[in-house]
Amino acid sequence: MTCGACCATFRVSFYWGETDDSYFGTVPQQLTQKLNHQRVCMSGTNQKQPRCVALVGEVGQEVSCSIYQQRPSPCREFLANQDGVNPDCDKARARYGLVPIHVIDIEPSNGEQEIVA
Ligand code: SF4
């Protein structure tokens, strides 16, 4: 909701069968780019300054995925690094000057975010 750094850092590639060109696929094919006979990627992510075409908003401020329900498997499997198991999350956030997510503690009592590490 507020980050989106991974959507604007990595190439998001996956098997073409996840697109709606396939009977069981969900990802809108027109939002993808063909890489080879087997694989496609989200348009906009196969460039020097990646940014997925489905990403709406400003990274680190307020973002959303315009195809959230139909997003491809890499997006479903990429975990926010809340417990230190996904350093790629930290790398993506660092590109945008954001601290690793696991050093942010959300205080429900006052709604403010606090750095605790
Ligand atoms: S499809 Fe959605 S979740 Fe996946 S990279 Fe694009 S904006 Fe991010």
Instruction: For residue 64, give the H/E element and its range.
Output: strand 62-65
Assess if residue 77 is contained within a domain.
Answer: yes
What's the mean pLDDT in 17-41?
Answer: 98
* Per-residue pLDDT reduced to its tens digit, 33-75: 999 999 999 999 999 999 999 999 999 999 999 999 999 999 9
Centroid of ligand 1 to alpha carbon of 47 (angstroms): 15
Residue 32 lies in a domain: yes
Angle at 91 (CA atoms; ends 85, 97), nearest 5 degrees:
125
Distance CA 102, CA 100 (A): 6
CA–CA distance, 88 with 42 (Å, rounded to integer)? 18
- Whether residue 1 lies inside any domain: the answer is no
User: What does the block give as tokens for 114?
Assistant: 């606090």
The one-character DSSP state at 30 is G
Residue 91 tokens, joined? 């790398």
Mean pLDDT value of segment 67-87: 95
Residue 115 confidence (pLDDT): 42
- Classify residue 45: in a domain, yes or no: yes
- Band of residue 103 on the pLDDT scale cut at 50, 70, 90: confident
- Domain total in the chain: 1
pTM of the model: 0.87
Q: What is the residue range of 60's domain? A: 6-115
The residue whose CB lies within 8 Å of the most ligand 1 atoms, and thus the one to mutate among 31, 75, 76, 79, is: 75
Q: Are 49 and 75 in contact (CB under 8 A)?
A: no
Among protein residues, the one with the nearest Cα to ligand 1's atom 7 is 55
